């Protein structure tokens, strides 16, 4: 009898834990509360991702605040808003937005493909934003990623193939000296990431502000100088970054960078404009007749002089001196403001 009781007791000890684990869990059990909570968090994240942008000012404010509070899940909505507001169709002023898209993709490699998928459908004229955003992202496998979306953009197949098989340069290979819009591309990448690399590329262009031979180089250098000072004056993190960069920068850039830092700290930005115009006037006076022609400013100068307005606008600054509109620049007014005296 004792043996029978012992066997039954041992059997009960084996069965009881299994029975306890198999019993239905009450609805107020903690294990059920956690999925409910996670579900609520996921819903809020989904709602934020789906929240549309009502105007370009709201879009630019989000871009400006992005570094402090990254929301990559909203990038598809942002791209659709860029398309709706038409901010990327002006090639002179689309650089900030292209650079921003590239930066968000580059900083989020695990979800980059999903983000791009959600950007579609897009009109063919706005698909350039996606193509360049992928190509400039810096992702190690950006070509494979771009290839996956060829069929979604048949109207842009030629451009895609130039990036995949041709000699179209990526962001780090673009020269500010050869293309002034690269300044805004790098600002956009910085707004998306807060990384030092794009700022260093803009800083390197400060060498052009010392050029004594070409007005276009001198102008591009002056605009790089102005945008760095203007943005650093409103952004302590950027100012600290510039000070760090100044410790190991190339000798030829050290002086103009010091002037940028001084102007940002004292908020004496007008002096940068005055010095730039003095240099341009001097070069006009001493240069050949072709460089004294004021019409040059209406052709090559407008693009360059409009750049800082867009970059400053992305930081929420519309009172910076150059007549700006949120989401773009009034290049004619900018030309009048920054053009050298006749």
Mean pLDDT of each 10-residue bin along the chain, 342 residues long? 43 40 37 40 51 90 92 97 89 87 98 98 96 98 97 96 95 92 92 97 94 83 88 93 97 95 90 78 62 44 44 43 32 39 46
Helices 95-107 and 127-135, packing angle to 10 deg: 50
Structure confidence at residue 48 (pLDDT): 57
**Cβ proximity of 83 and 123 under 8 Å:** yes
Same domain, yes or no: 157 and 188: no
Q: Which two tokens stand for residue 113?
A: 């493909």
Is 25 within the bounds of a domain? no
Among 147, 173, 199, residue at a domain's last position: 173
Helices 215-234 and 302-314, packing angle to 10 deg: 10
Burial 86-122 (b: 16+ CB within 10 A, else e): ebbeeebbbbbbbbbbbbbbbbbeeebbebbebbeeb
Instruction: Identify the CA nearest to 147 among candidates 165, 170, 126.
Output: 165
Is 218 within the bounds of a domain? yes
**Cβ proximity of 145 and 113 under 8 Å:** yes
Same domain, yes or no: 200 and 164: no
Which residues are bridge partners to 329 per DSSP?
324
* ω into 167 cis (within 30 of 0): no
Structure confidence at residue 302 (pLDDT): 44
CA distance 124 to 88: 12
Same domain, yes or no: 213 and 244: yes
Residue with tokens 């605009």: 223
CA distance 234 to 266: 11
Among 120, 153, 173, residue at a domain's last position: 173
Q: How far is CA 26 from CA 18, 23, 29, 319, in A?
A: 17, 9, 5, 61
Within 10 Å of residue 245's Cβ, how many Cβ atoms?
A: 17
Structure confidence at residue 216 (pLDDT): 82
Rounded to two decimals, the pTM is 0.75
Is 5 within the bounds of a domain? no
Same domain, yes or no: 206 and 312: yes
Long-range contacts of 215-218 (CB under 8 A, 24+ apart): 215/280, 215/283, 215/284, 215/287, 215/291, 215/296, 216/180, 216/300, 216/301, 216/304, 217/177, 218/276, 218/279, 218/280, 218/283
Q: How many domains, the chain?
A: 2
Residue with tokens 């009109």: 123
Q: Which two tokens stand for residue 311?
A: 């970059």
Same domain, yes or no: 228 and 264: yes
Among 155, 173, 191, residue at a domain's last position: 173
Is 74 within the bounds of a domain? yes
Structure confidence at residue 90 (pLDDT): 76
**Cα 98–Cα 338–Cα 207 angle in degrees, nearest 5:** 65
**Cβ proximity of 325 and 86 under 8 Å:** no
Domain of 253 in residue numbering reads as 182-338
Same domain, yes or no: 129 and 207: no
CA distance 28 to 292: 81
Is 44 within the bounds of a domain? no
CA distance 11 to 158: 75
Same domain, yes or no: 209 and 328: yes
Helix or strand run (H / E) with residue 252 = helix 251-266
Same domain, yes or no: 130 and 216: no
Q: Which two tokens stand for residue 103?
A: 């930066």
Same domain, yes or no: 213 and 129: no
Same domain, yes or no: 168 and 306: no
Is 256 within the bounds of a domain? yes
């Amino acid at each position: 009898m004792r043996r029978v009781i012992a066997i039954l007791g041992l059997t009960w000890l084996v069965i009881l834990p299994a029975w306890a684990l198999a019993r239905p869990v009450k609805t107020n059990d903690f294990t059920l509360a956690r999925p409910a909570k996670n579900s609520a968090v996921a819903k809020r994240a989904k709602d934020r991702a789906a929240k549309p942008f009502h105007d370009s000012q709201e879009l630019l404010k989000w871009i400006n605040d992005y570094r402090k509070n990254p929301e990559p899940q909203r990038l598809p909505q942002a791209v659709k808003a860029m398309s709706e507001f038409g901010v990327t169709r002006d090639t002179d002023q689309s650089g900030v937005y292209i650079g921003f898209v590239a930066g968000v993709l580059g900083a989020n490699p695990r979800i980059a493909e999903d983000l791009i998928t959600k950007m579609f459908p897009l009109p063919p004229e706005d698909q350039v934003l996606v193509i360049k955003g992928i190509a400039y992202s810096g992702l190690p496998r950006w070509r494979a990623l771009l290839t996956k979306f060829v069929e979604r953009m048949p109207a842009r197949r030629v451009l895609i193939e130039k990036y995949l098989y041709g000699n179209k340069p990526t962001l780090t290979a673009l020269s500010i000296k050869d293309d002034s819009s690269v300044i805004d591309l790098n600002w956009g990448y910085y707004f998306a990431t807060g990384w030092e690399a794009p700022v260093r590329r803009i800083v390197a262009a400060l060498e052009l502000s010392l050029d004594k031979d070409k007005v276009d180089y001198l102008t591009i250098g002056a605009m790089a100088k102005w945008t760095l000072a203007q943005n650093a004056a409103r952004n302590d993190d950027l100012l600290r970054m510039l000070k760090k960069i100044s410790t190991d920068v190339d000798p030829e850039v050290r002086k103009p960078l010091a002037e940028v830092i001084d102007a940002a700290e004292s908020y004496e930005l007008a002096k940068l404009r005055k010095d730039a115009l003095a240099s341009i006037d001097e070069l006009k006076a001493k240069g050949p007749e072709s460089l004294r022609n004021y019409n040059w400013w209406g052709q090559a100068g407008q693009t360059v002089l409009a750049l800082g307005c867009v970059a400053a606008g992305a930081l929420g600054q519309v009172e910076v001196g150059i007549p700006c509109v949120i989401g773009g620049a009034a290049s004619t007014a900018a030309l009048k403001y920054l053009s050298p005296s006749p």
